[in-house]
Structure 1
Amino acid sequence: MLVVVGGHSRNIGKTGLAAGLIRRTRGMKWTALKITQYGNAVCSRHTVESTCGCEPGNGEEFALDEEFEANDTDSGRFLGAGAERSFWLRVPAGELPRAAGLVRKILAQGENVIVESNSVVELVQPDVFLMILDFSCEDFKPSSLRFMDRADGFVVIDRGINAPLWAEVAQGMWDGKPQFLVTPPRYATTEIVDFVKSKAAERA
């Protein structure tokens, strides 16, 4: 089974949701993958004046690291939540298709894989694609808008408002699909877990 967790902006809770799903479905023995696209105006810590530290060394464009210890990094959090294996793939912004071979190699590592990324859905067809929405956050990543119609359900952060601050996204893109209201830091609610399990049952 392949589960993809995306979100319309940075630092919106994608890792929290993925880790929560892993923790509450440990029996599925997840392989976890976080994909980071680095470059100016893509990573929140990468600017004209400074880099974010995501770039691979030795002149390489792509880097794939496996995490072996539970720690405070995102890939380490996946292990701490109960993932069997956890990987971090870094690629230049807009170049994920060129790393398709690496992505498929990771997906072949386990029967159940959870990926934190929006853009990965241009390479693979997930069994479940959940996208996090925060109506109080005005930023809307182009990759999120591009793949929004592919989402199976939306995880909506409860901010006490009913209408989003972003106006350029048609309401019909999310209104007709399942929505799950969550309050951070509790992202993986029973309703979301049941939704993922139901998709797993359909696949079986």
Structure 2
Amino acid sequence: MRKSLNKRPLIIGVGGSHSGVGKTTVAEALLKHLTNPPSPPFTKGGMGGLWGAIKYTKTVIYTSIIDDPETLSQESKDTARLINAGAEKTLWVQSPPEELKEVLPIAVDRLSNLRGIIVEGNSAIEFLKPDIVIFVSGRHGGALKKSAVRVLEMADIILFQYEPSMKLPAKAKSFKVVFEPASGFDECLNYIQKLLK
């Protein structure tokens, strides 16, 4: 777990090997767990407190931070899933990667009153260097894109449904999970909770 030098909420980054791998499903599970108040024994319940979410989408030209509840709550949006999972506040950051250094600090600052933030997106993870990085591995036959390789190297936790074919970093703890329907997350969630204490 990385320690932040600046006072900021806890940040957990969720990245992955490719689009559609289950990053939002993992972010949902984290939010559902972490927003629940703790109950004895410590393996039951989350940390309590208010958690937010930042969904990052890479664009070619424009930069925006969308916080409009009507837009974010549309059923077809991943942001609606994050809201429904318990995010107190959700932001959708759209930006070219080279503009992240300007837009992400603004987004994090907007959520600075919360206990923690779940950030989804490889490029956002590379910039923010979260306290905990989760890499979601999917079925893939080819080489990983460069951003996925870099996030994999940063990973504290690797989640996989199918045995990964790539070399995993020795420092990362791996968990086998099922994404649809979501199951097998309990051990991983308890491990994350221990890292956050």
In the superposition, the TM-score normalised over structure 1's length comes to 0.74
| Matched-pair contact (CA < 8 Å) for 1:5–1:118 | yes
Q: Displacement of 1:107 after TM fit?
A: 4.4
Task: Give the alignment partner of residue 174 of structure 1, picking from 164, 169, 173.
Answer: 169
When residues 137 and 95 of structure 1 are mapped into structure 2, their CA distance, relative to the original with a 3 A threshold, is: farther
| Matched-pair contact (CA < 8 Å) for 1:152–1:178 | yes
| Matched-pair contact (CA < 8 Å) for 1:19–1:77 | yes
Partner of 2:189: 193
Between Structure 1 and Structure 2, how many residues are aligned? 172
Partner of 2:54: 33
Instruction: Look up the equivalent residue of 1:143 and give its one-letter code.
Output: S
Partner of 1:51: none
- 5+ residue gaps, structure 2: 1-9, 37-47
Instruction: Look up the equivalent residue of 2:190 and give its one-letter code.
Output: D
SS at match of 1:31: strand
Residue 184 (1) aligns with residue 193 (2): no
Instruction: Look up the equivalent residue of 1:198 and give its one-letter code.
Output: K
| Matched-pair contact (CA < 8 Å) for 1:118–1:143 | yes
SS at match of 2:128: coil
- 5+ residue gaps, structure 1: 40-54, 56-60
Residue 82 (1) aligns with residue 77 (2): no
RMSD of equivalent CA atoms: 2.3
Partner of 1:105: 109
Task: Give the alignment partner of residue 27 of structure 2, picking from 18, 33, 57.
Answer: 18
Structure 1 outlier segments of 4+, above 4 Å: none
Cα distance between partner residues in 2 of 1:178 and 1:2: 18
When residues 110 and 8 of structure 1 are mapped into structure 2, their CA distance, relative to the original with a 3 A threshold, is: same
Task: Give the alignment partner of residue 9 of structure 1, picking from 8, 15, 18.
Answer: 18
